[in-house]
Amino acid sequence: KWKGEGTTQNLESIVIGRCYEYIRLVNPAVGEKNCSQIWEAFKNAFINKDPCNILPEDYELFINITFHTIPPNKSLFWENNQLLVTSLAARGRRYMSVGDTLFGFLADFLIWCGQADSPGLDYESCPTMAECENNAVDSFWRIASVTYAKHSSGVVQVLLNGSAEGGAYPQPGFFADYEIPNFQKDKISQVVIWVVDDIEGPDRDSCGTNSVKTLETRLKTLGFDVTCTDNYKSVMFLLCLDYPDHSKCAFASSAPAAQRGPISSD
């Protein structure tokens, strides 16, 4: 009956399994957590309720029991490049995006919703953002975003897609609406923005232009130290993995001539 895809099959097993994977292997530094209690808190936020009337607050207990500190200088905010962020962050080893925190990790890539007057999950369909704002998934990411932004500190990075149709810095968007407003002025020393175009995509937005300019101005007005880099090299290397022969991936080399090819005479 809803327009969106239904609940991911085996949701309970995935969430509980991910919970153990996270606390035992991905990030044991978070310490002991009760994974079945975490699943109960997650489920109780949305089961037996109108799937269009789930609020971020409904996940409060879940957030409280999954919460852990976010290491300084490791936060990575983003829009429109989830797969790139997933490989750049490397499950928290390089950066810790919200999807690399315990609370985000449990839900990443999943879909879920319940139904009014029934304890069952709806595996057939779930409401989309267009059908109702207060759906189980979007309300979840709202409180996850707010929590993550509030607890980010030091140098924070923002990875934006310069080829995105709605602009690299979409408004409305989670970053614009739930993350920036929760940045703690006294905890964040610098905001590092990277605007990276898709290898085969158009160059729609760059540092100092269009929506990125809007973002830079907003952050500076809020009093943050802001830097912006176009096509940041480390991120380009990751993208170029899939396009080794593309002209954008022919990195200027300072290697000695002999390493690039034989020299004709001598």
How distant is the alpha carbon of residue 79 from its chain centre?
7
Residue from the set 7, 27, 66, 97 that interacts with ligand ENP by CB under 6 A: 97
Contact call for residue 179 and ligand ENP (CB under 6 A) = yes
- The tokens for 213 are 């300019």
Contact call for residue 101 and ligand ENP (CB under 6 A) = no
Residue from the set 22, 78, 103, 105 that interacts with ligand ENP by CB under 6 A: 78
Residue from the set 62, 174, 183, 194 that interacts with ligand ENP by CB under 6 A: 174
Contacts 24+ apart (CB under 8 A), 55-64: 55/134, 55/139, 56/139, 56/140, 56/142, 56/143, 56/146, 57/143, 58/139, 59/139, 59/140, 59/143, 59/144, 60/143, 62/38, 62/103, 63/103, 63/143, 63/144, 63/147
Nearer to ligand ENP, 10 or 253 (CB): 10
Contact call for residue 82 and ligand ENP (CB under 6 A) = yes
Select the residue whose beta carbon is closest to ligand ENP and give its number. 174
**CA 113 – CA 143 distance, rounded (Å):** 16
Minimum distance, C-beta of residue 256 to ligand ENP, in the bound complex (Å) = 42
Q: Dihedrals φ, ψ of 255, to 5°? A: -65, 150
Q: Which of residues 130-159 bind ligand ENP (CB under 6 A)?
A: 137, 141, 144-145
* Window contacting ligand ENP (CB under 6 A); options: 43-51, 87-95, 108-116, 258-266: 108-116
Asked if residues 113 and 136 have their Cβ atoms less than 8 Å apart, the reply is yes
**Interaction site with ligand ENP (CB under 6 A):** 77-80, 82, 97-99, 104, 107-111, 137, 141, 144-145, 173-175, 179
